[in-house]
Amino acid sequence: MQAGEKKQFEVSRLVADLSALKVEMLSAQYAMDRVRLQYSPQDIIAYGDAQTLKRVITSCAAIHQFFSQIQAQMQQREEGRSGE
């Protein structure tokens, strides 16, 4: 397999992975909305398992950090294109 063929395979895999990620993120968002609409933050804190909440918060923070980096790079790229 030549370098160009390998890169094309990697791009195809990336596109498929992003598509799957989109579905998984929508599922997570729906789950969060379901909890958000049914329970107040005070009830979640008072009655939710603290360890579970900490893990969820850690996961959300990691997702936010990753996509914030992607968003910043996308904005830089767009600004570079508009300046051309």
Which tens digit of pLDDT belongs to each residue from 17-56?
999 999 999 999 999 999 999 999 999 999 999 999 999 9
Range of the domain at 84: 49-84
What is the overall mean pLDDT for the chain? 92
Q: Are residues 59 and 33 in the same domain?
A: no
Burial of 39 (0-12, 13-18, 19+ CB in 10 A): middle
How many domains are contained in the chain?
Answer: 2
pLDDT at residue 84 in the model? 66
Contact 31, 39 (CB under 8 A): no
Residue type, 2: Q
Q: Are residues 59 and 27 in the same domain?
A: no
Please enumerate, as own/partner, the contacts of 22-25 that have beta carbons within 8 Å and a separation of 24 or more. 25/63
pLDDT of 58: 98
Ordered alpha helix ranges (H), 1-84: 3-38, 41-47, 50-82
Answer whether 0.85 is exceeded by the pTM.
no
Question: Predicted confidence band at 2 (pLDDT cuts at 50, 70, 90)?
Answer: low
Shared domain check, 31 and 11: yes
Quick check: is 43 in a domain?
Answer: no
Considering the domain architecture, whether residues 57 and 31 belong to the same structural domain is answered as: no
- Looking at the fold, whether 1 and 34 belong to one and the same domain comes out as yes
Domain shared by 2 and 29, yes or no = yes
